Amino acid sequence: MQENRTIRLFRHGPTAEFRLVVLVVLSLSLLVVDARWRALDPARQAISVVLYPFQRLVLAPRDLVENFNNWMDAATVARAEKEALQKQRIELAQIATHAAQLSAENEQLRRLLKVADTVSQPSVAVEVMYEPPNAFVHHLIFNKGTSDGIRAGMPVIDEGGVVGQIVRVTPFTSEAALLTDDTVSIPVQVLRNGLRLIAFGGNVSGRVEVRYLTANADIHAGDTLVTSGIGGLFPAGLSVAKIEKVERDSATGFARALATPLSHPERYRHFLVLRVDVSRMPSPTSDPEAQAHGSQPAQ
């Protein structure tokens, strides 16, 4: 009442109902466009860049506490890690000798078969910034983005194997869909017999699924799935999941297998993004259907 401003006798501007209708229509169109096409990504990136300093600011105390804890535990952790590493080194030494022999043999065989050599991938180490609280998707937000060479479509791995795939990038952050998310599908093969399949996430939470197997497909519980390299995005030979059970459905004549991912995105904070060449990927805007299924040409 005592505010130093002119008293308004009449309310100006549009009515509340009109504003409601305008804003609701705006949000509905945003929703529909964002669910179907990628047209809004620049807007999202712009908002994300604005949010970034605030996110860092708010998460700073948490990072500080974590760093402090790490520093306090450093001696204990280092000792434990040293022991584990020493043990691992002995184990690896054996495997390494074996692997060197095998790779020499493999190279020779490849030369004989005139197969192009596989190249090692450049990669970026990233750290989880936060996990978005979203009931619908299981994504991770990493602390590096296009400025570090990350592009949408690149695979994310940890020491267990494939974790997921980058689905969205902003200049300073990137968003990865986990293996178990329904937007990701990965061309895989069974390590035991080379059977080529496509692993999908989504239907069963926390599991990867292999659908439309013929009923007599040679696949059993305990088989390991590794990436087959078909499709060009995931380099061949990364472990993906272990088959848990195979369900054979006599009604459809197809079988499906459920597999547990071998990576552990929930345990650690550091991951590796493989900087594969995503330029060969079909443009997401040209084919919304392919884009909706993890941009795998091997669909």
Partner 1 sequence: MVRSPHSESTRRPSGASPLSALQPIDASPFRQPAHPLFVWSTVLLAWLISFLPWRDWLAAPDILLLVIAFWCLNEPQRVSMFTAFIFGLSMDVQDAGLLGEKALAYTLVAYGAVALARRLHRFGAVIQAIHLLPVFVFSAMATHLIHAWLAGEWGGWQWLWSALFTAVLWPVADILLHMPQRRLDETDHRGAV
Shortest CB 254 distance to partner 1, Å = 21
Member of 162, 165, 169, 175 binding partner 1 (CB under 8 A): 175
Per 3-state DSSP, what percentage of the chain is helix, strand, and coil (rounded to 5)? 35, 25, 40
Residues 50-79 that bind partner 1 (CB under 8 A): 50-51, 54-55, 57-59, 62
Question: Contact at 8 Å (CB) between 170 and 49?
Answer: yes
What does the alpha-carbon distance between residue 125 and residue 65 come to, in Å, rounded to a whole number? 22
Question: Contact at 8 Å (CB) between 47 and 30?
Answer: no
Q: Between the CA of residue 256 and those of 196, 212, 289, what are the distances in Å?
A: 14, 6, 23
If one counts every other C-beta atom within 10 angstroms of the C-beta of residue 64, the result is 10
C-alpha dihedral sign at 47, 165, 286, 135: negative
Q: Is 79 helix (H, G, I), strand (E, B) or coil?
A: helix
Member of 19, 82, 111, 196 binding partner 1 (CB under 8 A): 19
Shortest CB 33 distance to partner 1, Å = 8
Does the protein bind partner 1 through residue 23 (CB under 8 A)? Answer: yes
Member of 29, 69, 86, 103 binding partner 1 (CB under 8 A): 29
Binding string, 109-148, against partner 1, x = CB under 8 A? ---------------------xxxxxxxx-x-x-------
Tokens of 150: 């990350």
Tokens of 43: 């807007």
Shortest CB 172 distance to partner 1, Å = 13
Q: Which residues contact 171 (CB under 8 A, 6 or more apart)?
A: 45, 49, 145, 146, 147
What does the alpha-carbon distance between residue 159 and residue 145 come to, in Å, rounded to a whole number? 21
Give how many residues touch partner 1 by CB under 8 A: 45
Shortest CB 213 distance to partner 1, Å = 24
Tokens of 160: 């267990």
Does the protein bind partner 1 through residue 293 (CB under 8 A)? Answer: no
Does the protein bind partner 1 through residue 9 (CB under 8 A)? Answer: no
Q: Between the CA of residue 259 and those of 199, 203, 224, what are the distances in Å?
A: 9, 12, 9
Compare residues 3 and 117 and give the one whose CB is closer to partner 1. Answer: 3
Member of 149, 182, 195, 275 binding partner 1 (CB under 8 A): 182
Candidates 20-28, 76-84, 218-226, 237-245; binding stretch for partner 1 (CB under 8 A): 20-28
Member of 9, 16, 75, 251 binding partner 1 (CB under 8 A): 16
Question: Contact at 8 Å (CB) between 193 and 220?
Answer: no
Compare residues 129 and 241 and give the one whose CB is closer to partner 1. Answer: 129
Member of 37, 43, 101, 247 binding partner 1 (CB under 8 A): 43
Shortest CB 51 distance to partner 1, Å = 6
Residues that bind partner 1 (CB under 8 A): 1-3, 16, 19-20, 23-24, 26-36, 40, 43-44, 47-48, 50-51, 54-55, 57-59, 62, 130-137, 139, 141, 168, 175, 182
